[in-house]
Amino acid sequence: MDFKTFVDILASLAAIVAIISVLVGWYRSTRKPLKIVRVVVHKASEDMTFILVTKNRQPYPVTTKRIDCYRRKIFEVQKKFGGEPEYSERLSSREALFMGKSEFEVPANANTDLRIKVTGTADIPNRLLFSMDTSHGYHELWCDEISVLEVGRTEVYSVDYKKEYKSKLAAKVMYRWRLVQELTRRCSRRLRRS
């Protein structure tokens, strides 16, 4: 291998590293600063407490000014007389679980529990949409991991399996493997039904 070939290989590798670093920087800057990792809902007889496990993915604190929670979005297609058809997405107060000013500060690169107490009770769907007005703009965040705990009610359940591991890596690998198995099992059941 001569010197020119070696220099060309190094220059190509440097160009690839530069392109990848620019793409990673672009991806990180386009992400929303906040992510709602999990929602735990404590239901009592007359009120509910929403605990939003919120992650700040940026190296600066983010302040929330308002947080609204919805079951879903409304999608509409309408045509005004003499006009053309129009498509719109909107958030309806009929689908809201709570709406209100909630000022919280989420520290830089940190996880924080945001607690919001709501009077009255409602059915909680498997997926929630949060509309957040923050110090860094307006964001719509979906959360799929919802846990509803009814305060004062005992829950009895059986465990299909439980295994302890000494290593975090082994536990995570087994957890992912069990998720894949469960997903495969569900898909095969759906295919059999149809």
CATH number for the domain spanning 136: value is 2.60.40
Shared domain for 19 and 101, answered yes or no, is no
Shared domain for 109 and 26, answered yes or no, is no
Shared domain for 17 and 104, answered yes or no, is no
Could you tell me the pTM of the whole model? Answer: 0.65
Shared domain for 174 and 149, answered yes or no, is yes
Which of 42-46, 99-103, 153-157 shows the lowest per-residue confidence on average (mean pLDDT)?
153-157
Average pLDDT over residues 143-170: 81
Domain limits at 156?
33-183
Shared domain for 6 and 39, answered yes or no, is no
Mean pLDDT of the chain: 87
pLDDT of residue 189: 84
Shared domain for 18 and 39, answered yes or no, is no
Shared domain for 40 and 13, answered yes or no, is no
Domain membership of residue 102 (yes or no) is: yes
Q: In 161-189, which positions are buried (b, 16+ CB within 10 angstroms) versus exposed (e)? A: eeeeeeeeeeeeeeeeeeeeeeeeeeeee
The total number of structural domains in the chain stands at 2
Shared domain for 13 and 77, answered yes or no, is no
Contact assessment for residue 26 and residue 92, using Cβ atoms and an 8 Å cutoff: no
pLDDT of residue 132: 92
Shared domain for 23 and 60, answered yes or no, is no
The 10s digit of each residue's pLDDT in 56-104 is 988 889 999 999 999 998 888 888 888 888 888 888 888 899 988 888 8
Domain membership of residue 188 (yes or no) is: no
